[in-house]
Structure 1
């Protein structure tokens, strides 16, 4: 009797061990997968993040209502770093080591993501569709890195080449945050100018809380800049464009990367931002609503849920959530970091929300490669070029 009892205990222990081994990776159980996000909901890039979280959660709710992915519901935990790196580090520590997330999406900020890699990678936590287009998001060991679209660097190179042909520009300049994000834009701008035989005439650097740009714009104007590339926050972009108009500096073309390609920039009243260019990895939705039924249906559903029109951030949030779910589905029932990687590397599909073709592979963890160049006309982003 005692022997039989011991055997039953041993059997139970083995069964429990097998069950725990099946889900040894954090954030995964029979019924749930935990996903995190560490972004800017209150700082200079909040216009790129707030709607993104709403749209992602909306999609996860739809997936969960339909039974989840392989029987697992998605639990979404979101933290706000306010575009402060020290706060971002605290949030990553909580999400990775306390909340035990399986993967993360929509982590905003280049230096913030770079800081987070130090915690995510040892825990095998995948970083999917971060809200930054820096090349560092898919440099080095890319095992747990999956960026969404083209890089800031490539976007500015394409944008400068387009504007040089359109305007006959001879001198190129830049205004940027002296961070990993800003340096991506600066490097792409300067290198393309040199490739084209143009003069890189001047540059100014800025802090996230700067609001007075009269001195910087005066310096750039005196340097003879024909094109000015910008890599600052959404609010600063608007202030820069408005200040340039007040100074009467109208014979210059300002261009940003995807970090400047935001609905809020286009919708500033009074034509403050008219004429601003941006090079990004997706198309604005406003001009496509009447020609794309799937996009229109999604936009109407978003507005019904949140009583606001979806903009750039909502597009990116929905797209990131779709990519994650597609990866989870492709990974199969036995969800591990390894099976997720294999699943992600098989993905190829067209995203109607972004108007982008998404494809991942074993040596390619950048989903989209296209670059769309748009210009603000009449308060709307209008596509003027594509690479």
Structure 2
């Protein structure tokens, strides 16, 4: 496969003392850093490789490992190779707790990268925090990924589910003159955050009414009764916070019922190429929010994205998805931060490096500029719509 890495940021100069005793102390400290040896850096990740959100985790892990392999073939980071240790929790919180215990206690990972799921990460944070293990770009955009625990150890992809859905809903309400809104969600931290965004949008707008809300199991597959109730309530816009497959089922069922005048919008968790490319064009017209442009859309007008996408398809037999984008950005971020942290790697030097990162990626369009007060790899919110099987940007919001 064609190489996936960007040129890394030049490693920052680390100022040290010339005193021999201090050098010995520094060497001893480096040797005691969890997850770090002279030849290896161990990174952990809890993923859904066999559950309802595997469409995000599986390509994210594949792309990250491709990029780590490339770096390792070139000698690693300051002589250390990256080992990404992944555990499958199948979107089950008890399994996530077991996974993080194993990764932190037995594998002694240096950091956690791209762990999927809001309740799963929240269950892991206390264990990670006790051992000072940073959370880097979890595959969750809940507000709690930044707000829960020590901010110094929290780094995320971009604006939260709440911010994305709130801004997307407000934009559609304004542009389309929508007066009645509804929401379908799973009763998890992720789903509740989307539900809260919809409620707050209605509360802040006297012309907008929350007509119906409905909670669902993550593996639910029959939505005909719920959609009939929402149609009877005259819902004009429905926010959907469900896994990938149920999202497709919801929109397809609405069309089968002849309910064509309602609009549907999904959060970043539903912004996936598989949703847009669903067979038969059943998701045509669906809206979605994210802090990045869909990679398939970028492939049509950005040469770097087209080249990367073709290489991905050659290796994996399909076009890249949102999960692949997340894997690329996550791997780039941690590779650049490890380089920037220098050869005398510690948790503190790594966190300092994260807070000083500034780079852009033409493939994904993500522009990163972190600081002590900004731990988001990206900014801004893009409202997209499925048009001819591709998520196409229709509005950009701050």
**Other-structure match for 1:351:** 361
**Other-structure match for 2:333:** 323
TM-score normalized with structure 1 length? 0.93
**Other-structure match for 2:61:** 53
**Other-structure match for 1:332:** 342
Cα distance, 1:56 vs. partner?
A: 0.4
Paired residues for 1:176-215 under 5 Å: 176-197=185-206, 198-215=208-225
**Other-structure match for 1:10:** none
Paired residues for 1:33-48 under 5 Å: 33-48=41-56
Deviations 1:167-201 (A, max 9, x none): 21001110001110001111112212222321111
Deviations 1:37-92 (A, max 9, x none): 11101111111111111000001011111111111110111111110000011011
Cα distance, 1:290 vs. partner?
A: 4.3
Deviations 1:363-387 (A, max 9, x none): 2212212101111111111111111
**Other-structure match for 1:81:** 89
Looking at structure 2, the residues matched to 152 and 90 of structure 1 have their Cα atoms a distance apart, in angstroms, of 26
**3-state SS of paired residue (2:130):** coil
Cα distance, 1:161 vs. partner?
A: 1.3
Paired residues for 1:109-188 under 5 Å: 109-140=117-148, 141-188=150-197
Cα distance, 1:298 vs. partner?
A: 2.2
**3-state SS of paired residue (2:152):** coil
**Other-structure match for 1:4:** none
Cα distance, 1:285 vs. partner?
A: 1.4
Task: Choose which of 102, 116, 128 in structure 2 pairs with 1:94.
Answer: 102
Looking at structure 1, the residues matched to 264 and 56 of structure 2 have their Cα atoms a distance apart, in angstroms, of 20
**Other-structure match for 2:235:** 225
Q: Does 1:279 align with 2:301?
A: no
Task: Choose which of 304, 320, 323 in structure 2 pairs with 1:294.
Answer: 304
Looking at structure 2, the residues matched to 62 and 200 of structure 1 have their Cα atoms a distance apart, in angstroms, of 50
Looking at structure 2, the residues matched to 16 and 164 of structure 1 have their Cα atoms a distance apart, in angstroms, of 63
Task: Choose which of 323, 331, 352 in structure 2 pairs with 1:313.
Answer: 323
**Other-structure match for 1:371:** 381
Cα distance, 1:351 vs. partner?
A: 2.4
Looking at structure 2, the residues matched to 189 and 100 of structure 1 have their Cα atoms a distance apart, in angstroms, of 40
Cα distance, 1:123 vs. partner?
A: 1.2
How many correspondences in the alignment? 374
Cα distance, 1:360 vs. partner?
A: 1.2
Looking at structure 2, the residues matched to 133 and 351 of structure 1 have their Cα atoms a distance apart, in angstroms, of 20
| Unmatched segments (≥5 aa) in structure 2 | 1-21
Deviations 1:249-301 (A, max 9, x none): 11111001111100110111112111111011110112222432322232233
* C-alpha distance 15-278 of structure 1, shift in aligned 2 (>3 A): closer
**Other-structure match for 1:8:** none
| Unmatched segments (≥5 aa) in structure 1 | 1-13
Looking at structure 2, the residues matched to 102 and 36 of structure 1 have their Cα atoms a distance apart, in angstroms, of 8
RMSD: 1.6
* CA contact 1:319–1:353 (8 Å) conserved in 2: no
Cα distance, 1:347 vs. partner?
A: 0.7
* C-alpha distance 87-310 of structure 1, shift in aligned 2 (>3 A): same
TM-score normalized with structure 2 length? 0.91
Looking at structure 2, the residues matched to 201 and 241 of structure 1 have their Cα atoms a distance apart, in angstroms, of 18
Q: Does 1:28 align with 2:36?
A: yes
